[in-house]
Amino acid sequence: MYRSHSCGELRASHINTEVTLAGWVQKSRDKGFMIWVDVRDRYGITQLIFDEDRTPKEIIERAKTLGREFVIQVTGTVIERSSKNPKMKTGDVEVLVSKLEILNAAKLPPFTIEDETDGGEDIRMKYRYLDIRRNPVKDSLIFRHKVSMEVRKYLSDQEFIEVETPYLIKSTPEGARDFVVPSRMNEGQFYALPQSPQTFKQLLMVGGMDKYFQIVKCFRDEDLRADRQPEFTQIDCEMAFVEQEDVLNVFEGLTRHLLKEINGVEVAEFPRMRYDDAMRLYGNDKPDIRFGMEFGELNEVTQHKDFGVFNNAELVVGIAVPGGNSYTRKEIDKLIDWVKRPQVGALGMIYCRVNEDGTFKSSVDKFYDQEDLAKWAEITGAKVGDLICVLSGETNKVRAQLSALRMELAERLGLRDPKVFAPLWVIDFPLLELDEETGHYHAMHHPFTSPKPGQLELLDSDPGSVKANAYDLVLNGNEIGGGSIRIHDKKMQATMLKHLGFSEEEAKAQFGFLMDAFEYGAPPHGGLAFGLDRLVAILGGQETIRDFIAFPKNNSGRDVMIDAPAFIDEAQLKELNIKLDIQK
Amino acid sequence: MYRSHSCGELRASHINTEVTLAGWVQKSRDKGFMIWVDVRDRYGITQLIFDEDRTPKEIIERAKTLGREFVIQVTGTVIERSSKNPKMKTGDVEVLVSKLEILNAAKLPPFTIEDETDGGEDIRMKYRYLDIRRNPVKDSLIFRHKVSMEVRKYLSDQEFIEVETPYLIKSTPEGARDFVVPSRMNEGQFYALPQSPQTFKQLLMVGGMDKYFQIVKCFRDEDLRADRQPEFTQIDCEMAFVEQEDVLNVFEGLTRHLLKEINGVEVAEFPRMRYDDAMRLYGNDKPDIRFGMEFGELNEVTQHKDFGVFNNAELVVGIAVPGGNSYTRKEIDKLIDWVKRPQVGALGMIYCRVNEDGTFKSSVDKFYDQEDLAKWAEITGAKVGDLICVLSGETNKVRAQLSALRMELAERLGLRDPKVFAPLWVIDFPLLELDEETGHYHAMHHPFTSPKPGQLELLDSDPGSVKANAYDLVLNGNEIGGGSIRIHDKKMQATMLKHLGFSEEEAKAQFGFLMDAFEYGAPPHGGLAFGLDRLVAILGGQETIRDFIAFPKNNSGRDVMIDAPAFIDEAQLKELNIKLDIQK
């Protein structure tokens, strides 16, 4: 036993007891005749005192050698602190040390182990084990554990069974790129790491498992954007004998439970929005509804005049910025520059002030009179003192652009409060999505998603219009979960794969086992998967996931702490029957 | 909502209510005017009745088409059963069907979906989704979930934090063979899948996480023996500021909790046995102590006569088989054949009967008189009616042989009762193990295990005698967990790696990050890992792990259901900068 108490445990009630603590030196103050040392562990900080009158001389001498992050063990008596610190849980007391053991010395850490550190991202990642000592990271990991435990508890109480599915599976050309694993025992063949346990969870439904979940690592070998990891964690769920309504109810229940247990927030029934409406009102399939600023489509009230930009546009659409009339001309010009940045890509922005006296002043007064502009205000919901921002162009592009502007303005206006939670179901997703580059349709969710009843016929005539039994759970403008009711009929699955461009042979090779399974009594089933990394970050009031992952990889997929990936032995390659094929 | 109740839910109290059930047809009996159908789901079986007088004609007609494993949905009224079945939870009632929907037809399954199936291992694995419908498999998976939940609950209550460590890490030549994953973004480089999260959990201790656990998949690319899987699950744990005693106490607590909550068995304090004693008394470092039959070493009482076999032996050792004197000569000859099988490898076996009158009759009466044999009986603890079996030869080999015989005899004698639980700590393991082939020592546990205090000096003079702070938890003759107190000092870790044959350069390349971490304030720490697959199997009263794994691989590492591993596209290989290198 290295300690009798943790460093976060001592209170006034412990005064006069002898205790043994172990932990890290947070800081020390040496006044010559007296030394104070703050000792830290996961649970808190306790102040130690070494004092010429009461502490043995050799202990004082040893205390003087302590540097930051030394690992020490002390024994002493809990005494009342003369100047109490109400900000610390242990602030009423200090420990008068009688014994001091240095368990391990420490080199000076390359950045300060404080809530606000002087270390940049790169150095923190290289020394992640030091970074984890900092409260923001440590607390995030503990928070993640709590969320995971609550998820498991809730689902288990609802009779869901956590089943571990395999990690060494089979590569499928569908979806994102797989990570593969050469098989030594099966020459020339490869396993793939799962992008998700999708087919396995469906087979568990065929197997009668009824309600399945798993908190599970998934892998995608994609080029990494910021905040995307090659390995990530899903809360993966599936249920048999369910319709969409059943799935939404269960996972609305789970999400509400988490918000209550973890955040202490009670949320009413989650609103639902059709995909088409989300795109029309927010230009986005994961709208942040913590605030309004809904899109107003202005084609009808703008395309009857001589303004060619609007007349030629597929869509003219605006939003009202609350209080935006207070922006100076210069500020508005900056906003126009902002939407013209390549990341947003708008060609320009038209605006219209709603003055305090109810009159309008727009950047296109030449074309539109007060009556016209009043209609703009009506449609966008602009009030006195607001600013209407209008973009125009091709529908999909202009929606994305105005959505970006909406989010940016909300951020600036402080409307994205991380303590407010606004969940939303987005439903009725399209089944297929057109790949503009190849001209081919591919599955928007995945090839196992069922179309809405009676829409199968449209697959040939108007594939883009077919709606799916697919849904996303959106929280504060982030997709935290998504799922669908699956196909459970072999014929329909074959039809679907054909429409997605699989030859009969390919379909059999890749998904034959699943389609075979459908012939042996597959129940109707559906499910959902949450992205745990993001869910935890949002519940934790953060936008970035990195501090909620113990050992994240950088944007090149590298773990800079252990320096992986790395080269391997020639002998190892030979055993695996592969060799390097580096393009010079 | 496909159902109002599950198929395991209806009781007499439901009589006269209308219910809707959904599930699989277990079997049907068609008496012409009346049809009974058993419908099954995860929760149980309910009997349905279709009856000429009370059921619409078209429903009866449809019911006649139902085959085994059809997926159906029925609505009807719960009625009292005329002949009740007390073996079924729902045996008091049946459902008089008024509506029948065939949700999915089913081909005849390739084996019967019954507790005792006619399907062999191979066909069951190919159609694992059907196999999972069988109670023994389904219940095993649910049992596994329960054990995992209890583990998490217990450890979380003890302030352990579950932290997810990465799956894409770095290959190390130490230990077993790694599975590797080519990195597309880092040309020519590879990730490795973890054999265990060992270094990461140690870094979490350096990071102040204090108490860590994780239920996590691990990977070893080893030639597969029966009951060994390339991917397996560990309950991985680590604690800071602990000595061996602390670790043993915590995980004894966990194991006792599981035995109580899962099996309803209260177990007293776990006995502890030194490794040397386990080898001496049971010839095995994971002795099954549900029964006695301890080894008696007979060198002193056998090597003073003219029997050359014993005189030339390094070890002469015997066990008393309870009641073994009842074996016929033929049965004993068969036993001798058994120990001479190549899998056991003994050259022969000497035996001695302890007759009812207290006299002895041995196969070496020529050399040993009654007084000699009385000493054999005393040392092996043989009583009247027993049989003493004696093997001799090189110590390590003969211990392994006699251990195999002991287990075999106990099995035959019914002494290995799966309902009895006999946990045991084996402690004081050697630090190093001699590889007889290469003549080199390697780490018996792993290179991060600390030697017992004061034994470091022996590393040069007598490496085989150095004891480690290493321990195994044994349950019913199976190692279910193992761990150690780790090295937390850079210098000692460097010394250890040097003794294990790592050059300074290799040590730095492979474990530099860990040794660096030790310089920044590493606390004393240690831990343990349980093999979850085996733990669950043993708690479930089984010896084989396969039914406790949803989708196991066969002995060639193949998943025969999805047919993985498989060949991948040339383009995929090219992207990964590798090509096949098949030896013709």
Whole-complex ipTM: 0.95
* Whether the predicted pLDDT of B256 surpasses 90: yes
Is A40 in CB contact (< 8 Å) with chain B? yes
Query: Topology of domain A12-104, per CATH?
Result: OB fold (Dihydrolipoamide Acetyltransferase, E2P) (2.40.50)
For residue B225, is pLDDT > 80? Answer: no
Cβ contact B356:B384 at 8 Å: yes
Minimal C-alpha gap between A523 and chain B (Å): 6
- The pTM score is 0.96
Q: CA nearest B232 in A: which residue?
A: A166
Check residue A173 and give its pLDDT: 64
Which of A492, A481, A482 shows the shortest CA–CA distance to A524?
A492
Interface residue of B222, B231, B245, B562 to substitute, partner A, most A CBs within 10 Å: B562
- Residue in chain A closest to B522 (alpha carbons) equals A104
Between helix A135-157 and helix A532-539 the angle, nearest 10°, is: 110
B308-338 confidence digits (pLDDT tens): 999 999 999 999 999 999 999 999 999 999 9
Which pLDDT belongs to residue B460?
83
Strand ranges (E), A364-487:
387-393, 423-427, 432-434, 441-443, 470-475, 478-485
> So what's the pLDDT on residue B269?
96
Nearest-angstrom CA–CA distance, B485 and A578: 39
- The reply to whether residue B565 touches residue A189, judged by beta carbons under 8 angstroms, is yes
Positions of chain A with pLDDT under 70: 173-174, 226, 584
Q: Could you state, in order of their start, the residue ranges of all structural domains in chain A?
A: 12-104, 139-272+423-548, 291-412
Domain A291-412, what fold? Gyrase A; domain 2 (3.30.1360)
Interchain CB distance below 8 Å, A562 and B199: yes
Strand A470-475 versus strand A441-443 pairing type:
unpaired
Chain A residue closest in CA terms to B191:
A565
**Residue A174: predicted pLDDT:** 61
pLDDT band at residue B174 under the 50/70/90 scheme: low
- At B417-469, the pLDDT tens digits run 999 999 999 999 999 988 888 888 888 889 999 999 888 888 888 888 999 99
Residue of chain B whose Cα is closest to the Cα of A580: B578
Interface test with A, best of B41, B233, B520 (most A CBs within 10 A): B520
Nearest to B186 by CA among A170, A120, A550, A560: A560
How does residue B232 score in pLDDT terms, banded at 50, 70 and 90? very high
Mean confidence (pLDDT) of chain B: 95
Provide the pLDDT for residue A440: 83
Interface of A with B in 92-121 (CB under 8 A): 103-107, 109
CB contacts of B7 in chain A (<8 Å) are: none
What count of other Cβ atoms lies within 10 Å of the Cβ of residue B194?
25
CATH of domain A139-272+423-548: 3.30.930.10
So what's the pLDDT on residue B173?
64
Of B148, B219, B579, the CB nearest to A579: B579
Count CB neighbours of A120 within 10 A.
9
CA distance B52 to B59: 10
pLDDT greater than 80 at residue B350: yes
- Compare CB distances from A104 to B2, B219, B521 and report the shortest one's residue: B521
d(CA B515, CA B199): 10
Q: Is the peptide bond before A565 cis (omega within 30 degrees of 0)?
A: yes
For chain A, say whether B168 makes contact (Cβ under 8 Å): yes
What sign results for the dihedral spanned by CA atoms B504, B508, B514, B517? positive
Pick the range with the lowest mean pLDDT from A246-250, B87-91, B219-223: B219-223
Determine the pLDDT at residue A32: 86
Instruction: Say what the pLDDT of residue A175 is.
Output: 73
Using a CB–CB cutoff of 8 Å, tell me whether A535 touches chain B: no
